[in-house]
């Protein structure tokens, strides 16, 4: 009786420089996602990546700080993609889809996201602050595109301020959501943030002709079953209650 042939050994493939770097960043992001950067060691990154500590230093000779900034840059690029949405369909439904991706990212990278936006880490530098600001600017540019801005000229000042204010509110709400054990459900938080977006647009339109013009162009794209329609339905009873505040005909 002949012995069974041994299974062929798996061919070893040496990773390219870029592949190895991507592997190490992935391991670092896994750790930074759930712990503050001060609490993550290079030994842990090496263990998660399945490599030696000297190899991590070979790719990131600046140590944990350099690795953190590179991982942060990688995460920032992922976060920017959350705001990329085709300019099709009702604008408020586009914003819903953007928030779904954004909150999924926050959920997946909870502790890291919190440490990043709150600051106070020894790993925080002017460079890390710049990376975060780049995400905010990219988010504002994408939202402004959905509000009809061409992306070439300067946006209307009040409209731009409104969008940046809303993005700051989204960040703050996300941090509070994490503090509160991710309650309410992400979908409920998303709907509330979309309502805030619509409300800010309405209030800004009341005093800014440029914003009012943008909103007037967007309203025909909305429908009764979408976020704008549902909010209008919920607010309708308040109009009657506030009738005494309106000037007489």
pLDDT at residue 177 in the model: 95
Q: What is the pTM of this model?
A: 0.83
Instruction: Provide the pLDDT confidence category of residue 209 given band limits of 50, 70 and 90.
Output: very high
pLDDT at residue 2 in the model: 45
Instruction: Provide the pLDDT confidence category of residue 11 given band limits of 50, 70 and 90.
Output: very low
pLDDT at residue 57 in the model: 94
pLDDT at residue 118 in the model: 65
**8-state DSSP, 5:** P
Q: How many angstroms from the chain centroid is the CA of residue 200?
A: 20
Cα separation, 180 vs 70, in Å, equals: 30
Cα separation, 108 vs 71, in Å, equals: 15
Q: What is the pLDDT of residues 27-67, one digit of tens each?
A: 988 888 777 778 889 999 999 999 999 999 999 999 988 88
Task: Give the percent of the chain with pLDDT over 70.
Answer: 91
pLDDT at residue 125 in the model: 62
Q: Name, in order, each residue with C-beta under 8 angstroms of 158's C-beta and a sequence gap of 6 or more.
A: 204, 207, 208, 210, 211
Cα separation, 184 vs 175, in Å, equals: 13
Q: What is the pLDDT of residues 110-151, one digit of tens each?
A: 877 776 676 544 455 677 788 888 989 999 999 999 999 988
């Amino acid at each position: 009786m002949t012995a069974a042939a041994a299974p062929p050994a798996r061919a070893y493939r040496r990773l390219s420089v870029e592949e190895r770097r991507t592997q190490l960043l992935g391991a670092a992001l896994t750790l930074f996602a759930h712990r503050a950067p001060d609490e993550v060691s290079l030994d842990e990154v090496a263990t998660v990546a399945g490599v030696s500590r000297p190899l991590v230093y070979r790719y990131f000779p600046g140590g944990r700080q350099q690795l953190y900034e590179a991982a942060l840059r990688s995460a920032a690029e992922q976060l920017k993609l959350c705001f990329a949405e085709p300019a099709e369909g009702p604008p408020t439904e586009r914003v819903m889809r953007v928030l779904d991706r954004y909150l999924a990212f926050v959920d997946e990278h909870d502790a890291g996201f919190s440490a990043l936006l709150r600051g106070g880490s020894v790993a925080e530098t002017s460079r890390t602050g710049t990376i975060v600001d780049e995400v905010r600017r990219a988010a504002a540019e994408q939202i402004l595109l959905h509000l009809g801005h061409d992306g070439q000229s300067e946006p209307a000042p009040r409209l731009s301020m409104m969008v940046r204010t809303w993005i700051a509110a989204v960040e703050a709400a996300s941090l509070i959501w994490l503090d509160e054990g991710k309650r309410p459900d992400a979908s409920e938080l998303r709907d509330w943030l979309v309502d805030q977006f619509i409300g800010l647009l309405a209030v800004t339109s009341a005093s800014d002709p440029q914003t009012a013009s943008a909103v007037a162009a967007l309203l025909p794209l909305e429908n009764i079953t979408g976020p704008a329609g549902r909010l209008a339905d919920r607010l309708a009873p308040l109009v009657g209650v506030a009738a005494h505040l309106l000037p007489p005909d």
